[in-house]
Chain A
Amino acid sequence: MEAAFILEKLILVVIVFTVTLVIAMYSTLAERKIAGFMQDRYGPDRAGIFGLLQPLCDGGKFFFKEEIIPAGAHKQLFILGPVIAIVTACISSAVIPWGQQLTIGDRVINLQVASGINIGVLYIFGVIALGVYGIMLGGWASNNKFSLMGAIRAASQSISYEIGMGLSLIALLMVTGTLQLEDIVAQQSGFVNWNIWVQPLGFLIFITCAFAECNRVPFDLPECETELIGGYHTEYSSMKLGLYMFSEYINMFVSSALMAALYFGGYNFPFMYDLGLSENWITIIGTLVFFLKIFGFIFFFMWIRWTLPRFRYDQLMNLGWKILIPLAIANIVLTGVITLVKDTYFQ
């Protein structure tokens, strides 16, 4: 029983890791394709049909490039930086419920790696906060003032927007009454119960903060890849740079999954119990629907990237501290008042 349980979880972990990495890999292609289409061109389409082999070529190129560690760099921390970035990006997907339960024979398989953890949301926040260390260490260990400045920018941006993100989530948690992600998703069955209808303002704040947390346009100041030398990963080359970029795409995938799970009903889809499907089929379709929602969010991330210009640094800080945080607090108060009124007068 115990061995079967471990095996089951191990298989699930491997599947989740593979899917995460493959999606992150193909996000790079999707980004370039979407950029192309939005600018009236094709994007990469030479490697394989529709350019499907492009990510493999890019990965191969990263592996074969010369690896440079600057003479003044702190070698251990220099290597540790990208490792922390990618590990924290990968492990944050552990508490996301990918689907309901699958029943094979008399075994019930939970499609969530760490199921039954009642601090799911907190865990994700902790891991995201750890992700800053990867950037900070990388920037500091490079022994380059530009890297350090990029890292400081990245760290201050992440930390400021984490507050807004957390506050917007508190309002959501007041509605759901639980920190357990599978419960939050299960509460949203159907279509009208999705949290987006209850917390539209909270979602707006959350998605803005998610953009900032992922260092995506319009908040990509830590990198400024279009005009500056590269921010915290200036001194990085070869696969270490690849790991940093990869971890960013994984972060994007995970935050898309988180938004889909928290606000857009996760694996729930309209009329899921009225179609007369068996339990397993509902689970499978639900998982596919969940991924569809995630891809929708990833597309939205990219769509925004090729639409908006970058914020100036003071604008970024103004938005984070003077607008989003007060707005999130107002949202909490509003949610509290509405909940109270509903409980007292409309029982």
Chain B
Amino acid sequence: MQSLSNRKKVLEQKPMNFWERMYLPAIAKGLSITIKHFFKKIPTVKYPEQVRPYSKNFRGQHSLKRDEEGRERCTACGLCALSCPAEAITMTAAERTKEEKHLYREEKYAAVYEINMLRCIFCGICEEACPKEAIYLDGPHVTAEYLRKDFIYGKDKLVEPKFDITKLNQING
């Protein structure tokens, strides 16, 4: 059959010459290649002891942020859930009482806030959608679990731990 592109090359299989049939030069060549690799630098990162530096805009596990007084910023507006392309976020809103003023920043807050980490695609659109700067994907990798239900992270895992802002200022001088 005539070739359409005219780029076809017919390879001719020549009989091996004496040196090629000896097989030994080929072995020597192969050995030299493997010994070169023996002394090569190994690119392996020994993971648990040695962590590769993350990129600055790495998106890991979500964290629900607090304001400078340690109150939760989230007001349960539901924009994150609405914007989520994977529909991973669900929440239940509740109204803040007077005694809870030191806990929540706005009058409405999320009583339940759950992210299904199996659904989440870590796109960061919730982060963009949030008007209160309450959610950021600044955590580590989401780790493996044995059961599906354990991948649904509630507020206990998502809300960032409290810290005393005055002490932070002291440390910074």
Chain A residue with Cβ nearest B29:
A307
What are the interface flags for B17-61 relative to A under an 8 Å C-beta threshold, 1 for contact and 0 otherwise?
000000000010011011101101011101000000000000000
In the complex, which residues of chain A have a beta carbon less than 8 angstroms from the beta carbon of B27? 304, 307-308
User: Of all chain A residues, which has the CB nearest B31?
Assistant: A307
The chain A residues found within 8 Å of chain B, CB to CB, are 34, 37-42, 45, 303-304, 306-308
11 A–B pairs (Cβ distance < 8 Å), ordered by A = A40-B37, A40-B40, A40-B43, A41-B44, A42-B46, A303-B31, A303-B34, A304-B27, A307-B27, A307-B34, A308-B27
Which chain B positions have C-beta within 8 A of A306? Answer: 34
For A39, the chain B residues whose CB sits under 8 A away are 37
Judge whether B44 and A308 touch: CB under 8 Å: no
Given contacts A34-B38, A42-B44, A307-B30, 17 further A-B contacts (CB under 8 A): A37-B42, A38-B35, A38-B38, A39-B37, A40-B37, A40-B40, A40-B42, A42-B42, A42-B46, A45-B46, A303-B35, A304-B31, A306-B34, A307-B27, A307-B31, A307-B34, A308-B30
Interface residues of B: mostly helix, strand, loop or mixed? helix
User: 9 smallest A-B Cβ distances: which pairs?
Assistant: A307-B34, A307-B30, A38-B34, A37-B38, A38-B37, A38-B38, A307-B31, A41-B44, A42-B44
Closest to A39 in B: B37
Q: In the assembled complex, which residues on chain B have CB atoms less than 8 Å from the CB atom of A34?
A: 38
Interface SS of A by simple majority:
loop
| Smallest beta-carbon distance B69→chain A, Å | 47
A306→B42 CA distance, assembly (Å): 17
In the complex, the chain B residue whose C-beta lies closest to that of A45 is: B46
> Nearest chain-B residue to A37 (Cβ)?
B38
B37, B38, B44: residue with the most chain A Cβ atoms closer than 10 Å = B38
A residues in contact with B30, CB < 8 Å? 307-308
Pairwise interchain contact B44-A37, C-beta atoms closer than 8 A = no
Task: Find the B residue at minimum CB distance from A309.
Answer: B30
CA distance A38 to B30 in the complex (A): 12
Q: Shortest CB–CB separation between residue A16 and chain B, in angstroms?
A: 30
Residue of B nearest to A41 (CB): B44
Chain B residues within an 8 Å CB radius of A303: 31, 34-35
For residue B42, which residues in chain A have a CB less than 8 angstroms away from its CB?
37, 40-42
Assembly CA distance A140 to B34 (angstroms): 38
Q: With a 10 A CB-CB cut-off, give which of A38, A41, A42, A303 has the most chain B CB atoms.
A: A38
Contacting residues, chain B, for A38 (C-beta < 8 A): 34-35, 37-38
Question: Smallest Cβ distance from A287 to chain B, in angstroms?
Answer: 27
What distance in Å separates the Cβ of A19 from its nearest Cβ neighbour in chain B? 26
CA distance A124 to B30 in the complex (A): 32
B40: chain A residues within 8 A (beta carbon):
40
Give the residues in chain A near B37, CB-CB below 8 Å. Answer: 37-40
Chain A contacts for B33, CB-based, 8 A:
307
Most buried by A among B27, B33, B42, B43: B42
- Name which residue of chain A comes closest to B24, CB basis: A204
Give residues 49-103 of B contacting A (CB, 8 Å). Answer: none
Give the residue name and chain of the A residue nearest to B32 (CB).
Answer: A307
Q: How far is the CA of A40 from the CA of B39 in the complex (A)?
A: 9
Complex Cα spacing A306 to B37, Å: 11
Residue among B31, B33, B34 with most chain A CB within 10 A: B34
Residues in B with CB closer than 8 Å to A304 are 27, 31
- The CA-CA distance from A41 to B31 in the complex, in Å, is 18
* Chain B residue contacts of A307, Cβ below 8 A: 27, 30-31, 33-34
Cβ distance B12 to chain A, nearest Cβ, rounded Å = 24
Chain A: minimal CB distance from B96 (Å): 51
CB neighbours of B35 from chain A (8 A): 38, 303
Closest to A218 in B: B27
A34 to B42, CA, bound (A): 13
Q: How far is the CB of A224 from chain B (nearest CB, A)?
A: 20
Q: How far is the CB of B47 from chain A (nearest CB, A)?
A: 11
Q: Which residues of chain A are within 8 angstroms of B46 by Cβ–Cβ distance?
A: 42, 45
- Shortest Cβ distance from B94 into chain A, in angstroms? 49
Return chain A residues, CB-CB under 8 Å to B38.
34, 37-38
Task: Report the separation of the CA atoms of residues A34 and B38 in the bound assembly, to the nearest whole angstrom.
Answer: 8
**CB proximity of B29 to chain A, nearest CB, Å:** 10
Which of chain A's residues have a CB closer than 8 A to the CB of B34?
Answer: 38, 303, 306-307
In the docked arrangement, what's the CA distance between A45 and B33, Å? 24
A304-B27 Cα distance, complex, nearest whole Å: 9
Q: How far is the CA of A38 from the CA of B31 in the complex (A)?
A: 10
A307 nearest CB across to chain B (Å): 5
CB-nearest residue of chain A to B40: A40
Residue of B nearest to A319 (CB): B23
**Shortest CB–CB separation between residue A202 and chain B, in angstroms?**
15
Q: Closest CB-CB distance, B171 to chain A, in whole Å?
A: 38
